[in-house]
Amino acid sequence: MVWYVPSVQEFLEVRAFIENDTALSRVLEEARSRLTGDPGHDVAHCLRVAAWTIRIGGPEIDPRHAIAAALLHDVVNIPKDSPDRSRASERSAEFARGLLGELGFDAIDLIGDAIHDHSYSTGRVPRSPLGDALQDADRLEALGALGILRTASCGARMGADYFDGDDPWAMHRELDDGKHTVDHFFRKLLLLPPTLRTKAGREEAERRATFMIAFLRQLGDEIGSPPPARRLSEAERPPR
């Protein structure tokens, strides 16, 4: 398996690209002013998504388009427990089209469509290589070490406990990630890798999911209740 992880230099190049582009610098300012209060959807998240979108998309996509899409993909951030959550990507796309139009940006429809289609909750299928790369890059943020941090912080904001003390692995109850944060690993996170649309994205997703499984095993050791094989079996897939 070949790892596609962007190097430190590639992350720095994204920032340099923005600094040398007046329109992208304005886009970054807008994103920074709007993405506050949620560490899982802040500007740092958007910059990581930009680097991964470029890496995953490769020569098929324009880095400028990738950065613009990544910076604006969560610009309208609706809380996960809101009934309007499914409209977040739609509203972000509307905002992006308006801002990019004001800035005289090219490929506005391409970028807007990629933002519109990226959200997991809507189940939309991207319509371009840029859309595929953006969706994959965003889903990678839900996995690995970052995924664990984001899951814990999201659970805290929603008032969930870490796990059900009587049945931490939901062997005798239904999974409920609104009440128990660990349930979210099994309801969504460990099921993500096959949903990624690119080979590079799937390989990195599987690597990150393996790390999360190791974390759950360590958690089981610490609480005196190892995760049952049944719970982990669907998540433990051989790398493609």
The full 3-state SS of 101-120, as one line of letters, equals HHCCCCCHHHHHHHHHHCCC
Task: Return the domain boundaries, the chain.
Answer: 8-139, 144-233
**pLDDT digit string (tens) for 22-74?**
999 999 999 999 987 788 889 999 999 999 999 999 999 999 999 999 999 98
The secondary structure of residue 39, as a DSSP letter, is: G
Which pLDDT belongs to residue 135?
96
Does this chain's domain 8-139 share its CATH topology with 144-233?
yes
pTM beyond cutoff 0.85: yes
Residue 193 binned pLDDT confidence (cut-offs 50, 70, 90):
very high
Task: Tell me which fold the domain 8-139 belongs to.
Answer: Hypothetical protein af1432 (1.10.3210)
Residue 5 confidence (pLDDT) above 80: no
Mean pLDDT of the chain: 89
Angle at 95 (CA atoms; ends 116, 136), nearest 5 degrees: 30
* Cα–Cα dist 73/30, whole Å: 12
Count the Cβ atoms, other than its own, within 10 Å of residue 196: 22
Find the mean pLDDT for residues 131-146: 96
**pLDDT digit string (tens) for 63-121?**
999 999 999 998 887 766 666 666 788 899 999 999 999 999 999 999 999 999 888 77
* Cα–Cα dist 18/166, whole Å: 50
Level-2 CATH architecture, domain 144-233: Orthogonal Bundle (1.10)
* Cα–Cα dist 24/29, whole Å: 9
Residue 6 confidence (pLDDT) above 80: no
Tell me the three state secondary structure of residue 42: coil
